[in-house]
Amino acid sequence: MKGLDLNITIVGLGLIGGSYALALKELQPKKLYAVDKDEEAIKVGEEMGIIDKGFISPEIPLKESDLIIICIYPKDIKDFVKNNIDNFKLGSVITDVTGIKREFAEEINAGLRKDIDFVFGHPMAGREFTGVKYASKEIFKGANYIITPTERNKEESIKLIEDIAIGLGCKNVEKVTVEKHDEIIGFTSQLPHVIAVSLVNSDNLGVDVGKFTGDSYRDLTRIARINTKLWTELFMGNRENLINQIEEFEKNITDVKTALINKDMKSLSEILSKASKKREEMS
C-alpha cells in the first residue's frame, strides 16, 4: 500500500499520534497534518520531519482532510468532534485509537453529520512513555488491530482503516462489536494493567527490590509505569467489564492459594499445567 491518495490529519501528536505519523509517512499520503493544542508537540513533530505541517487550530487541516485519526484522551474526543462538526470535509472518514468503545461510540455517533463516517479503531500498541519524542513506527509492527464496525459505517470506510492498519505493519485486524471489544479489552489490556499496578503496590519488603528481580517481575510490572489520567478514564469507562474480569482473576488466584494452604500438590500441579498448555497454544 503506497501512494495513499488522501490528505490525513492526526489529532493529538503524542506517542500514538506521532507513531501514526511516522508509520503513515511510509504509505505516502498526499498531505500529512497534525493538530495539537500544545505548541511544543507541533514544533517537535515538524522538527522531526514526521508531519508536513502542524496546527494549533483544527479548522484549516480538517477542511482539507479525507481521513482524520484522533489520538487524544477519550473524554476529549467527544468535545473535539462536537466543536469541529462543521469543519470536517464533506464525506470524510474519522477513526480513533481509544481503548474503550461502547458508551463512547454511541455518544459520538449520536452527534455526527450524516456524510461523515466514524470507524472506531483500536491498535493494540503502546509504550510506557508519553510524548511525541518517544514516537516510533515500530509500535505497529506485528501488533493486533481491532475495528468495531457500527451500523452506520460504509464497507469502503472499514476497508480503508483495515488496509491502513496492515500498511502500518499490524499483523492482524479483527472486527468485533463494541460490546465484545470492551469485554475482551477488559481482560487482555485493562486487567493486566490493574495487576501490574497492584503487584508493584504490594511490595513491602523494605529492600531495593530491583536487586532481587529476574525478568518475571520486570516483565510483569513494566506497564505499572502508567499514564494515570488516561487509564483512570479507560478503567472507569469500562468498569463493569473490568470488575467482572478482576473477580474471575481473583477466583483463579484464590484457587492457587487454597492449594497452598491445603498442601494440595495435585491441584496446584493441575492449575500450573492448565495455564502452561493454554499459554503455549495462544496464537
Footprint of its own copies on 235-254 (CB under 8 A): 235-236, 239, 242-243, 245-254
How far apart are CB 22 and its own copies at their closest, in Å?
18
Within residues 112-151, the interface with its own copies by CB under 8 A covers 124-126, 143-144, 146
Nearer to its own copies, 4 or 139 (CB): 139
Within residues 161-220, the interface with its own copies by CB under 8 A covers 172, 174, 176, 180, 183-185, 187-189, 191-205, 207-217, 219-220
Within residues 3-32, the interface with its own copies by CB under 8 A covers none
| Half-sphere exposure at residue 39, Cβ-oriented, CA atoms within 13 angstroms | 0
Site map 39..58 versus its own copies, x via CB under 8 A: --------------------
> Hey, what's the cell of 38?
500544545
Nearer to its own copies, 84 or 267 (CB): 267
> Hey, what's the cell of 35?
493538530
Nearer to its own copies, 163 or 217 (CB): 217
How far apart are CB 214 and its own copies at their closest, in Å?
4
Nearer to its own copies, 89 or 181 (CB): 181
CA 135-140-144 angle, to 5 degrees, is 140
Return the closest-CA partner of residue 148 out of 76, 95, 74. 95
How far apart are CB 60 and its own copies at their closest, in Å?
34
Count of residues that bind its own copies according to CB under 8 A: 89
User: Alpha-carbon distance 99 to 235, whole Å?
Assistant: 10
How far apart are CB 110 and its own copies at their closest, in Å?
23
Nearer to its own copies, 109 or 227 (CB): 227
Q: Which stretch binds its own copies (CB under 8 A): 14-22, 28-36, 157-165, 267-275?
A: 267-275
How far apart are CB 160 and its own copies at their closest, in Å?
21
Q: Which stretch binds its own copies (CB under 8 A): 45-53, 107-115, 152-160, 234-242?
A: 234-242
